[in-house]
Structure 1
Amino acid sequence: MPYRFWLLPGLLLFTTACSSTGPLFSSSSSSSRNTASTASRRPAVRPTATAKATKTAAPLRTVDSRTYGSRYVSEVINQARTYTGTPYRSGGNGYDGIDCSGLVCAAFSSVGLKMPRISWQQSEVGYEIEVSDIRPGDLVFFVPESGKEGYVSHVAIVTEVRATNDIRFIHASSSRGVREDNLYSNYFKGRFVKALRPF
């Protein structure tokens, strides 16, 4: 099936650290399965609710892969971990409630790195990597239903790579709030779509 794209204005994705936008764009997915050993499928189009930021971000700077090193990675992870235990709130951006893409946005913007606000937008930042190349600071993306193709609905930040089958990430769980989980847990490995190095 050919890919179909809906183009947004050039600077729309990166005008602010935690901005919301309207129409979605993406491509139809490949026929690959959602397993933790596969990182090839793109999200399909699906409207989502937008949310406004409620926090003031740090001054933003553009960072490339040469400067997104261990210092920024540790700062991003440490900032994300300050939200541990925060309850889930759709569209939330603060310690009183936060959602998955809000956590990513807040963690990156706290150290001055630009990141879009919505998970599908975040899934288009940086470049895709293989699961075997995942390292702390990378982003991992998920679909809602195990074994099914679909739109990106969830995002997390990799915090530790303990072993080939133990990759830890922090995320805002809709049922348990901000916590860390293993990519290879039964729940997440079937919903995994891809991993990205954001900068």
Structure 2
Amino acid sequence: MKKIVFIIIIILSFSGCKSSKRAKNKKKASTEIINRKIISENANTVENSINDKIEPSKSKAENIIEYAKQFEGVRYKWGGTTKSGMDCSGLVYESFRAYDVILPRISRDMAKRGDKISLKDVSTGDLLFFNTGNRRNSINHVGLIINIRDNNIEFIHATTNNGVITSWLNEDYWLKAFTEARRIL
């Protein structure tokens, strides 16, 4: 008799755990819906405040460049897209995405977008693509043109050693690694 009572108590305790889990899941689902609504409302507020910060006198390219410059000094992190770490394609991807221009996440895929242009025709906001000789014989690095001065092109990009920096295309290393330029905007 004691064994039967003991078995019934164990069965009830297991079924009690199962029903309390369902109750927790239902409660979580309802708070998740509420949280989604709050996040959606906050996103609209954030979007409006971002749109308020866009100066109408600035071009989209100038706004993208300004956005990218805020990451200068951020350390390199493979696959990174935030101020805690950034890689070259992450920098370009996030800078364009901030202004509703969606690009592929990988530099060699970015190089398939837009129009290929010659160096003499580049302008600020255009992209430079490089083959730095790592692993594959294909494009593996990208930079965003931020300035053109005296036939020299300044671009912002993320390097493994120095993180997000600006460089000049006339530097020997970058000139040798240069593959092509593309206009996205």
Q: Residue by residue, what CA displacement relative to the aligned partner does 1:30-85 show, whole Å, maximum 9, x if unpaired? A: xxxxxxxxxxxxxxxxxxxxxxxxxx9x98xxxxxxxxx96100010000000000
Q: Which amino acid aligns with 1:154?
A: H
Q: What TM-score comes out, normalization by structure 1 length?
A: 0.62
Instruction: Give 3-state SS (helix, strand or coil) of 2:59's partner.
Output: helix
The number of equivalent residue pairs is: 131
Corresponding position of 1:98: 86
Which one has a larger percent helix, Structure 1 or Structure 2? 2
User: Which of 141, 149, 154 lines up with 1:162 in the alignment?
Assistant: 149
Of all paired residues, the percent bearing the same amino acid is 31
User: Which of 82, 87, 107 lines up with 2:70 in the alignment?
Assistant: 82
Q: CA deviation at 1:185?
A: 0.4
> Counterparts in 2 of 1:1-199, with a 5 A limit?
71-145=59-133, 150-164=137-151, 166-199=152-185
Give me the whole-angstrom Cα distance separating, in 2, the residues matched to 1:129 and 1:172: 23
Give me the whole-angstrom Cα distance separating, in 1, the residues matched to 2:58 and 2:171: 26
Q: Which has the higher contact order (CA 8 A, sep 6+)?
A: 1
Give me the whole-angstrom Cα distance separating, in 1, the residues matched to 2:68 and 2:150: 22
Return 5+ residue gaps in structure 1 as ranges: 1-55, 60-68
Bigger Rg over Cα: 2
Give me the whole-angstrom Cα distance separating, in 1, the residues matched to 2:68 and 2:173: 22
Q: Residue by residue, what CA displacement relative to the aligned partner does 1:153-187 show, whole Å, maximum 9, x if unpaired? A: 100000000011x1000000111000100011011
Corresponding position of 2:6: none
The root-mean-square deviation of aligned C-alpha atoms, in Å, is 2.1
Instruction: Give 3-state SS (helix, strand or coil) of 1:190's partner.
Output: helix
Give me the whole-angstrom Cα distance separating, in 1, the residues matched to 2:114 and 2:157: 19
Give me the whole-angstrom Cα distance separating, in 1, the residues matched to 2:104 and 2:140: 14
Q: Which amino acid aligns with 2:72?
A: T
